[in-house]
Structure 1
Amino acid sequence: MTLIFATATVILILVVVLLGIRLRKRSNHLIYIHDKLTSILDKGTYERLLVFDSDPQISQLLKDMNQLLDHVHRAEAGYANQEKEMRNMLSNISHDLKTPLTVVLGYSEALLHSASLTDQERETMTGKIQDKAQEVLRLVHSFFDLAKLESGDTELALTKVNVSELCRLKMLSFYEMLTKLELQVELSIPDSDVFVKGNEEALERVLDNLITNAMKYGAEGKVLGLSLDVSSEQQVTLSIWDRGKGIPEQEHSRVFERMYTLEDSRNRLYQGSGLGLTITKRLVERMGGSIELRSVPYERTVFKVDLPLAR
């Protein structure tokens, strides 16, 4: 009896010791987690917590915390990038507004203070003031349109849209400009109607932006193409392409950023707000679609838009 009691006592003592060791180890782990998290947050570093395999529950907790840290760091990086884009956008908008406004002020001052101007000169200056004022208005509208899209204030009513007919009509509306630029047009649109789930006004703007972009930067290739394919039972692919100078591969990831423009777009021939492709991407995404760029200079530069098929 005494032996049994002594054995039980020893076993109990061993259990208590083991529990004490385990609790102390867990306590040390918790202290490490607290100290490490405090250090990461205070210093703003991109470190991770060391995962201990000895305790499955603590190990899972550490893995979950590392995932949370990854999420926080991605959010911070996204916010920093967005803030940088916004600063660049405001800087570029200031530049783009300053140029036409300077012209407007210069001509208006001449009209006010130059009594010797002929009627023809006054008419010419008035026309240039009108053109520059329209340029400023277009830029301001683009800026506010993008702001509304990104804030979610703009509701897009999605309906069944005949995208094949819309593409034909849109290309016809650009006929005069395409002819003036001596661009050959290649169309590949199914004879039967193709319907997508989208917003007709938004789709028109997407087409306007992509066709205008192809004319501005792809005119050297002398070809502008538009194709429409029912790529699956759930998706329609709209492609607008050209054989112009294209976009360098290192720039592909930036083309949809706010205020992104090619280097020569500050030249008068290529003047643009830099918001067109950003607005296009936001509109496509709001319609449940996606857009991508593929470009091989002087061979084929294509913007592909995937949209949900409407049955």
Structure 2
Amino acid sequence: MVKSAKFKLTGREKSELFGEGIVTIILLILLNMSIYVILSQLIATNPGLKNGIFQIKMSLKFGPSDFQIWSWGWLFVVLMAIIDCFIVYWRLMRRYSQMQVRHIIAELHYIAAGHFDHRIPFTLKGQTQRIIASVNALVDSTINSMEEERRIERSKDELITNVSHDIRTPLTSIIGYLGLIENRQYHNEEEMLKYTHTAYIKAVQMKALVDDLFEYTKVRQIDRPLNIVSVDMGAMLEQLGASFELEAQKKGMVIHLDEPTTPLMIEADPELLARVFNNLLTNALKYGSDGKNIFINLTQISETEAEITIANDGAKIPTEALGQVFERFYRVEESRSRKTGGTGLGLAIAQGIIDLHHGSINVTSNDKLTSFVMRLPLKHPKEEK
């Protein structure tokens, strides 16, 4: 926030303005004297004009004593004094405005020299103040754009680093095991099959990472076209719950679905929403496996919005990690992610898809439940073309 202060002239500028006024007054006095002399000579040499002025003078009498308000000399002085005041005022205000512009230009040069946290601090009146406000807003916008560009560049570098790291690890294993086979460094066919199976598992991990990365880059495109249809959200969640039921039983977990008695229709891309719920249910099974339950809750919270919650009663997410779980490649525990084979992109993809639907997603976690709460509009906003 810029602290505004009243515009002040420097001592030198005040002296300059005072000198401007004195010079202007002197020039105007000389000009007035010249005009007076010229008019006096013109009247003296023109009897008709002189007689006309005299007649006007004699007709302008007031009161019982025939008071005359006409006097050629005084009338000229008063008239020229009024005109001179306007000229002096105009000249000084013009010079004052020039000094204001000079200060603004000096402030701009100071900012351009690298002092990007500086803003024009003083306030003026009229259109000049609009210029100052526009300049400050332009500098703020430029700085924000520069910071955003730097952030994007850092983000790209981090993306390349993370992808390189996550691909290099399984790729190293694949090359290592295939190298053993290539060099016939195995004792029997069973050992060779073991090597090929390990290489296959690592290749599957690489494919999962590439698929997730591809999906992540697509959902980050704000102009990605969506296949918007009316979706029965309860029916979709029932199908997803049924598809995960067998895996949940293997882990000793039970999936509970709570939905409205009447169908709740949402305008959305069903394929993308299914990807979101798949990612969240997969996470619940992987990282909530020390719990016993997964809860899916669907409610209509207003005339225009629905809420979907996917929760589990497994181990809580550390408080310091809650603000980072939607960041790409972020893993709460690196060792656990390696064990479960997570890419660290699932929640980032989920958030991207929810954003495309103009909704929101957040997470809460305590000793009882870890809950991912999504809010989606019932009607998909029409995109402006």
- Describe the SS at the equivalent of 1:157: coil
Q: Is 1:101 aligned with 2:168? A: no
1:7-38 per-residue CA deviation (whole Å, 9 max, x = no partner) reads 33223222222223322232222222223223
Aligned counterparts of 1:143 and 1:247: Cα–Cα separation in 2: 24
Residue 100 of structure 1 and its aligned partner are, at CA, apart by: 0.5
Q: Is 1:132 aligned with 2:202? A: yes
Higher mean C-alpha displacement, 129-138 vs 148-157: 148-157
The residue type equivalent to 2:175 in the other structure is: L
Q: Residues 1-311 of structure 1 correspond to what in structure 2 (within 5 A)?
A: 1-43=72-114, 45-53=116-124, 55-114=125-184, 116-152=186-222, 154-264=224-334, 267-293=337-363, 295-310=364-379
- Describe the SS at the equivalent of 2:230: strand
Higher mean C-alpha displacement, 93-102 vs 75-84: 75-84
Aligned counterparts of 1:270 and 1:38: Cα–Cα separation in 2: 57
Judged with a 3 Å threshold, the aligned counterparts in structure 2 of structure 1 residues 19 and 287 are, in CA distance, closer, same or farther, namely: same
Q: Structure 1: where are the runs of 5+ without partners?
A: none
Aligned residues, how many? 309
1:89-143 per-residue CA deviation (whole Å, 9 max, x = no partner) reads 2111111111101110111011122264322222222221111111111111222
Residue 44 of structure 1 and its aligned partner are, at CA, apart by: 5.5
Residue 206 of structure 1 and its aligned partner are, at CA, apart by: 0.7
Residue 6 of structure 1 and its aligned partner are, at CA, apart by: 1.9
The residue type equivalent to 1:86 in the other structure is: K
Judged with a 3 Å threshold, the aligned counterparts in structure 2 of structure 1 residues 117 and 157 are, in CA distance, closer, same or farther, namely: same
Aligned counterparts of 2:315 and 2:73: Cα–Cα separation in 1: 96
Q: Structure 1 vs Structure 2: percent identity of aligned residues?
A: 27
Superposed CA RMSD:
2.3
TM-score, length basis structure 2: 0.73
The residue type equivalent to 1:14 in the other structure is: C
Judged with a 3 Å threshold, the aligned counterparts in structure 2 of structure 1 residues 310 and 149 are, in CA distance, closer, same or farther, namely: closer
Aligned counterparts of 2:347 and 2:337: Cα–Cα separation in 1: 18
Aligned counterparts of 1:164 and 1:267: Cα–Cα separation in 2: 31
Higher mean C-alpha displacement, 138-147 vs 250-259: 250-259
Residue 266 of structure 1 and its aligned partner are, at CA, apart by: 6.2
Residue 250 of structure 1 and its aligned partner are, at CA, apart by: 4.1
- Describe the SS at the equivalent of 1:24: helix
Aligned counterparts of 1:47 and 1:249: Cα–Cα separation in 2: 37
Residue 165 of structure 1 and its aligned partner are, at CA, apart by: 0.7
Question: Is the 2:205–2:341 contact (alpha carbons within 8 Å) kept by the matching residues of 1?
Answer: no
Residue 267 of structure 1 and its aligned partner are, at CA, apart by: 4.5
- Describe the SS at the equivalent of 1:43: coil
The residue type equivalent to 1:306 in the other structure is: R
Bigger relative contact order, structure 1 or 2 (CA pairs below 8 A, ≥6 apart): 1
Aligned counterparts of 1:271 and 1:33: Cα–Cα separation in 2: 59
Computing the radius of gyration over CA atoms, which structure comes out larger, 1 or 2? Answer: 2
1:34-78 per-residue CA deviation (whole Å, 9 max, x = no partner) reads 23223323415222221314x132222222332232233223222
- Describe the SS at the equivalent of 1:272: coil
TM-score, length basis structure 1: 0.89
